[in-house]
Structure 1
């Protein structure tokens, strides 16, 4: 048959090339394949064939993708340690050696374009073993552009975290994400969750890799991934005693260092330092020898030959995770790392050193309250509202399936008592939950003096999302309509520092032919700061927070009240204060307390007059807290009111109790047809 064909030699050559594609790839570790086929392009520190002897820790980070049962790998490293190079090698391995379709994700569209043009494409084109399998640009055999590269046996698609449409467009067995801590959530959820779903259908063949320098503790995706994995660290042996250890910042010594770690870094401020004397101290208690850079680098390079290297602290269950600090780098000298530390310390940017050099998350001692300490503060009260309560407000937070309400009593100096905390189950788009809210707001609380106290004012958060075309915000507006008396206020939280707790009201309409409602803007950042600082007050008095010992105020309540923490992060060298809460933590109690505080600020009641009406003794020498809850301001000096001169009294004659003239309050007459009932109209 072949003899009857013309160009027999070309036919046989074509058949041989086709049969070569049927031969399975050799069983080869990715690091071995990379050293034979991958070249670092010109423009890098050491161009040419990749050599893992310069960075021996990268070998284990790359070979992990062939470990039996692995489906996810997390790389939590410092900067310039080759995590992106490892992911590039993984990409090339699944193009040239073991073809599989892949998806590569960066935080933004600009990031993916920069990565493609400056790192990935130069590396792919510099390696003939990889580029020969790829489609040519502007060719007819496949696609090769900024969105996708096709090759024999699969394709490589590029995406960014802010494009959920692109993430859900295709599925692939291999997904890689770089700088995951820089990715923001999308309206459709976490981009990493969407990316993970793209590989879920491939079962045991799926592989997910994620890499990043970490950011803030409790808010770092890569730290969460590292903790969920088997937590591998690179162990090396002491060149003097042979003790096996992984490198830690606390063991770095130099002349002038006074700190023992990151937590007490302030001890190094203002000291005379000699970075050129930096050495690493052996972790063994009976050794403590100082290593120079040559000994440290040799220990890193010889670790795997001596049977050390990457070791996990947790059992491997398919999820591998790595942590690599800058001290592992064979290209960095210890004096350079110390100089970077001192420079960041002076600039007040210690976070970037911890994130970038140590490869660890940064935790700042910001504004935060202790939930356990607040729980111990709970008391049994003699009445629903203790004697100090003079005014009552409520804060209402709206969620998609419930309303959460805190009712707070206020006294002199804005000392507070949490009278009740309720969760009203029900969809706010329906009417039942709003009827429950009316019933709750119509309740009274028995004061210790015997008087029944009503809720004087309340704030309802109108912010919400849309669900099936119906707006939660619009539903809140409809509920607020017709609530006369101006004591049930709609509010909208706005961020930003320096704002007042409550700004002037806006007019929001609920329909073409209906009257508008009053909507107040609440500075949530300042309101939360006020709440946190008042929670930190330890002695009863101005700003102090009291809590009852009941089932409403359990662990869940205090965890939510203290869920957020004020931290400072640095953006391009500028300090930015932000409130952060751990993932999946509930912060509704904190929001409700802020809204109840806003209601108090709107009404501005006179506690002195309220105390007179209730017959409660006025608290002497109590100054009102300022707008952000500071208690360190000097108290205002109040002059006693002048009394009219009285005739000289005979001490032997019993004096009659002086009578106090009360001012007659003239109220407008209520019409016979006026609506009665309801907490907002019957006052």
Structure 2
């Protein structure tokens, strides 16, 4: 009897061993990332305030994003998002899926070393311990925090600030988290995102996932979003009319008092969403069902199969935030530029754009006065010219200046020769009474092109023209004076003014937004649209210069014409050289006699303007 029991026990043990051995030859379970997470990922109280099995239905907008990861044809996934929407958890699901279903090498990149260590200990290892039934025997829990080994591969947790770590391994899967917080450069190496992407080039099937809250339009995540083959928005149905729509902040409504003000205590509980189609009230109780019935819809078309896809989502979609909480966050942030930027980035998931640094042509045309072209206004005290030199000619402008930097364009145009410029700048301009009383006091001419000809022309101009050139680096002041170092040339030692163009464009942007009148940057009556479009052809963005982020004015498009803007910068430089900031207020029209031309001897060539006072 004992022998029979023993034999049966041996047969059972052998049978179990064979079954386990056969499992190794079974093909991997065919699951998407969302299916794997729903079936196998358990979240402990150490990981979340809502412990239990992962449920994609609670964040239905994540399903399609995660499932794109298992599609071989898709190489790059981009997620432009708000904070606390589930982006990092989705990437953890992708990592867990890879380890369990399709083992391979993984590189997970974070902004700095501290975040790497914290992420490994507090997120990944807790996830492994909470799911030992899936990862026991596969993941070596004794691995170093930044190199987690598992059967069939490893997960390297890498800092974006370490070129050596970024370049250490060849991997087919790269997960890039919060890329807008990465440094622009890793030491003396290339951009860390580029360094990481290089690690995948030897793999025929590779996957790159980029997830981040945005900062500005020139930030890495927004550029990746714009560059994707297909961009998606999540549409949800109105519970009343069924109209599919994107959830927008502009549709959140809240009660206001008779003064148009809002009490945040009331707003928190009474704010609601208004359907764009039927204008019906949508409350928080409707949101979860709307999310479940929502779908990602492409906003652009592409020929063939897309290899990169991008998604944008904001906090209004969050199952854990009410419409009232979003509204209150805006109301408490709107008067503080820094807090408002955080609301736009972290709550709306949108890049920040300073509207004060972006102008449109209609803003310029709104600054037309009643004074016609070619007429000097009665408040003027001096006029200056600016010339932008081109290969085949010159764009020129003439501007009148008065008390508190009040200014108006008098005329502008195109000239084909230095002789024409000489005639324009030396002609007499009439005042509002028709008297020919004014000549240009000083004209600044760009010397970046036809440099020697400009130097010669300014030398023989009799003091009414000076050469200028744009600064190659950002300068603290608006301009500096230097001497032309050209031994053997007649203009050797001549004054040359090096101009910080960004500073003067700040001046124009600030002044053109002022109310029409004193202190405003204005244009003559019936000003042409070409001039207005050139003045507003640039916007201010954060760019990279000498490995540093700096604010600079750059063309809005690659083909934008900005010649009149440059000419106006030079006219402003000429006004600075004439001490325009120190003009007194007129009690009566300027007393300039016919024939005196309005010019003043400018003996103080090296007199800088005091930059400590208020300029803008």
Q: Distance in 1 between matches of 2:557 and 2:164?
A: 24
1:295 equivalent among 274, 286, 294: 286
The alignment status of 1:345 with 2:334, answered yes or no, reads yes
CA contact (8 A) 2:363 2:513 kept: no
Instruction: Let me know the Cα RMSD of the aligned residues.
Output: 5.5
Q: Is the 8 A contact 1:100 1:153 kept in 2?
A: yes
Partner residue in 2 for 1:331: 320
The residue that corresponds to 1:565 in the other structure is: 540
2:31 counterpart (28, 32, 50): 28
In structure 1, C-alpha distance between the alignment counterparts of 2:364 and 2:326, rounded to whole Å = 42
Query: How is 1:485-496 mapped onto 2 (pairs within 5 angstroms)?
Result: 485-489=493-497
Q: 1:359-374 residue pairs with structure 2 within 5 A?
A: 359-370=349-360
Q: Take 1:165 and 1:250, find their aligned partners in 2: how far apart are those partners?
A: 46
Give the superposition deviation at 1:354. 3.0
1:456 alignment partner, SS class:
strand
Contact 1:161–1:183, Cα closer than 8 Å, also in 2: yes
Give 1:87 deviation, angstroms: 0.7
TM-score by length of 1: 0.60
Secondary structure of 1:177's aligned partner: strand
- CA contact under 8 A between 2:81 and 2:314: conserved in structure 1? yes
Query: What whole-Å deviation, never above 9, does each CA across 1:529-562 have from its counterpart, x for those lacking one?
Result: 223346669899996579xx99xx989x966964
Distance 1:91 1:453 in 2: 71
User: Aligned pair 1:82/2:75, yes or no?
Assistant: no
Q: Retained in 1: the 8 A contact 2:218–2:541?
A: no
Q: Does 1:277 align with 2:277?
A: no
1:506 maps to none
Q: Which moves more between the two structures, 332-341 or 86-95? A: 332-341
CA distance in 2, matches of 1:664, 1:337: 61
> 2:85 touches 2:318 (CA, 8 Å); kept in 1?
yes
Is the partner of 2:169 in helix, strand or coil? coil
Structural mapping, 1:564-583, within 5 Å: 564-565=539-540
Deviations 1:231-285 (A, max 9, x none): 3333333444444434333333333299xxxxxxx96568995431223334433
Aligned to 1:610: none
Aligned to 1:529: 506
Residues 627-666 of structure 1: matches in 2 within 5 Å? 635-637=585-587
Distance 1:484 1:312 in 2: 62
* Corresponding residue of 2:309: 320
How has the CA–CA distance of structure 1 residues 364 and 71 changed in structure 2, closer, same or farther, with 3 Å as cutoff? same
| Cα distance in 1 between the residues matched to 2:266 and 2:207 | 47
| Consecutive unaligned residues in structure 2, runs of 5 or more | 1-11, 368-372, 375-380, 402-406, 417-446, 475-481, 543-549, 604-616
Deviations 1:10-46 (A, max 9, x none): 9999999787555442211111211233222414211
Change (3 A) 1:267 1:189: farther
User: Residues 53, 409 of structure 1: CA spacing in aligned structure 2 closer, same or farther, 3 A cutoff?
Assistant: closer
Relative distance call for 1:595 and 1:421 in structure 2 (3 A) is: farther
- Calculate the TM-score normalised by the size of structure 2: 0.66
Instruction: Name the structure 2 match of 1:156.
Output: 155
Q: Which runs of 5+ in 1 are unaligned?
A: 1-8, 139-143, 259-265, 383-387, 397-401, 423-432, 465-476, 492-521, 568-576, 607-623, 628-632, 644-656, 667-683
The reply on whether 1:211 has 2:200 as its aligned counterpart is no
Matched, 1:173 2:181: no
How far has the Cα of 1:63 moved from its partner? 1.1
Give CA deviations for 1:31-82 in whole Å, capped at 9, x if unaligned: 1211233222414211232122322222222112123521221212222110
Is 1:53 the counterpart of 2:57? The answer is yes
Report deviation, 1:357: 2.5
Return the offset for 1:594.
Answer: 8.8
Instruction: Tell me the alpha carbon deviations over residues 126-183 of structure 1, each in whole angstroms, 9 at most, x when there is no partner.
Output: 3322364233436xxxxx333x323222222233444445434433221221222333
Structure 1 residues 445, 328: CA separation in 2 closer, same or farther (over 3 Å shift)?
Answer: same
Aligned pairs for 1:181-330 (under 5 A) are 181-186=180-185, 190-203=191-204, 205-216=205-216, 218-227=217-226, 228-256=228-256, 273-285=266-278, 288-301=279-292, 303=293, 308-315=294-301, 317-330=306-319
Worse overlay, 268-277 or 69-78: 268-277
Paired residues of 1:445 and 1:454 also in contact (CA < 8 A): no
Helix, strand or coil at the partner of 1:32: helix
SS at match of 1:275: helix
Q: Which runs of structure 2 are paired with 1:601-612 in the superposition (5 Å)?
A: 604-605=577-578
> Contact 1:181–1:221 (CA<8 Å) still a contact in 2?
yes
The 2-side partners of 1:435 and 1:332 are apart by 58
